[in-house]
Amino acid sequence: MVSPKNWLGLIFLLLILGIISVIRIPSDNDARLKRTALEWSLATLAATLILWGAFDSGGQFQTINQTEWVVSPALNFQWGPIVLAVDGISLFFFILTALLIPICILISWNSIKYLLKEFLLCLLFLEILLMGVFSALDLLLFYILFEGILIPMFLLIGIWGSREEKVRASYYFFFYTLIGSVFMLLGIFQLYDIAGTTDYQALLNIKLPESTQKWIFAGFFLSLAVKIPKVPFHIWLPQAHVEAPVSGSVILAGVLLKLGGYGFLRFSWPLFPAASEYFAPLIITLSGIAIVYGSLTTCRQVDFKRLIAYSSVAHMGLVTLGLFTHTIEGLVAAVFLMLAHGIVSSSLFIAVTFLYERHHTRLIKYYRGITITMPIFATMMLVLTLTNMAIPLSCNFVGEFFSLLAAFEYSLVIGVLAASGMVLSAAYSLYLKSICFGDASNYQLFPRDLNRREAWAMAPLVILIFFLGILPSVIIEPVKNAIMFSPGGA
């Protein structure tokens, strides 16, 4: 059997070859550009699935290489060795990223009317940067890739956004996340000054004074809280979602919002355990407020995309709540819920875009009786809204159940706040579901059901919703082993 080390290297090689292949195709050959980008992204997805099959779920990191990158004797600076690796946590974010990129290409097949080659290159560059973020075990490399993602996302929103305020939304996204990340960079510099290295595994063996941990943790928290995003750092999210093209919304909801939670789990807690415990009550309180505030704000939205965007604030509140309970249930719930939210929220954004392409409005009040004219779409929409409510046998149910379990173990008040968020999620999900039933709206002229391409884009996500809801152990066991094996394991 080929080792995970070799398959991890192959994934990055496939992405680089895909980018080169797209660059070499003439810009006016749209059909070949789309087909080539889709083929290379599917090949990458196949490689990640093989990596999963070859993966040893015992909990240890499985590395690709260790390379000395930058050495400067004059400045007394040595960066390296650079280690790229996966474990039971990062593996599934790898697979989620590899799954969403070909779906983004499919759903944008006919909607990108200009600069198609540049659009596809942005998606492939995003994929290779995201894969790097989820495998980097060097803090400086993680930061560079973490910030590098801003550039293609800025271009996606600002160039291919759907409305007039797209440039403003792209700057909102860019500057909020860039300014927040400066504090993480300062924390990394402080760690290097103390330890002489930015290697994650080496830093795990260094015990920092509690006061130092608190300052560095605060820098990491500000950066990662903006990316999740966490109340009150969430202002950029609805604007970015509303103005972004559908592929931008899918990448934002599916993967980028998970970078904050992944950073907390991978770096903040293991490297700064005392500071993490110290700030946990504050962060859990903010998470409870985010759940209620996000849910109440969602209930008053009239725009499809804004509704789904604000619901993400509430769901990410559950994620950080589970993370900072520092229990095995809460940590597993956080990872599972991030993956489930990446699937469900991405699917909802795709479904909303299908409606928008047909009727050119995202206002919910104009839609009624879609079941009559679009039965396939209505069935998928019903499944997605029920999943968003966390019904049993869906992936959201597993994640939210364990989150509530961890919340009630931590505090009755926090548990009640988290449970109220679930009740409110049922309220806005039913509001979303109401578009399917009743008499057909007079505003819906000449509707058509999903075509083959649209159905193929949605089908894998809908299947995954039930697969993970029925067999959650395929994710829970590797994640639990990785958490238990880590130095900060519960």
CA atoms lying within 13 Å on the CB side of residue 319: 31
Mean pLDDT, the chain, rounded, equals 84
pLDDT-based confidence at 67, cuts 50/70/90? low
Position 72 scores a pLDDT of: 47
Position 19 scores a pLDDT of: 93
Q: Return d(Cα 97, Cα 370) in angstroms, integer.
A: 31
End-to-end CA distance of the chain: 33
Position 98 scores a pLDDT of: 93
pLDDT-based confidence at 1, cuts 50/70/90? very low
Mean pLDDT of 138-148: 89
Burial class (CB in 10 A: 0-12, 13-18, 19+), 487: exposed
Percentage of the chain beyond pLDDT 70 is 91
Least confident of 3-7, 14-18, 114-118: 3-7
Answer yes or no: are the C-beta atoms of 132 and 84 closer than 8 Å: yes
pLDDT in tens, 401-425: 888 888 898 888 888 888 888 888 8
Sign of CA dihedral 344, 103, 51, 224: negative
Answer yes or no: are the C-beta atoms of 25 and 38 closer than 8 Å: no
Q: Return d(Cα 345, Cα 316) in angstroms, integer.
A: 12
Q: Three-state DSSP class for 439?
A: coil
Mean pLDDT of 64-91: 63
Report the DSSP beta bridge partners of residue 78.
Answer: 71
Q: Name the E strands within 137-294.
A: none
Position 270 scores a pLDDT of: 87
Q: Return d(Cα 163, Cα 305) in angstroms, integer.
A: 13
Query: What are the start-end ranges of the H helices in 55-165?
Result: 90-107, 116-135, 139-148, 150-160
Q: Return d(Cα 375, Cα 369) in angstroms, integer.
A: 10
pLDDT in tens, 283-310: 998 888 888 888 888 888 888 888 888 8
pLDDT in tens, 330-380: 888 899 999 999 999 999 999 888 888 888 888 888 888 888 888 888 888
* Interhelix angle 395-410/375-388, nearest 10 degrees: 10
Position 483 scores a pLDDT of: 78
pLDDT-based confidence at 24, cuts 50/70/90? very high
Distant-in-sequence, close-in-space partners of 186: CB < 8 Å, separation ≥ 6: 219
Position 20 scores a pLDDT of: 93
pLDDT-based confidence at 59, cuts 50/70/90? low
Answer yes or no: are the C-beta atoms of 157 and 149 closer than 8 Å: no
Q: Return d(Cα 267, Cα 137) in angstroms, integer.
A: 9
Mean pLDDT of 54-70: 62
Q: Which of the pair, 133 or 443, is modelled with greater confidence?
A: 133
Answer yes or no: are the C-beta atoms of 251 and 104 closer than 8 Å: yes
Answer yes or no: are the C-beta atoms of 442 and 366 closer than 8 Å: no
Nearest by Cα to 330 from 197, 478, 479: 479
Q: Return d(Cα 473, Cα 332) in angstroms, integer.
A: 11
Q: What is the largest CA-CA distance in the chain?
A: 76
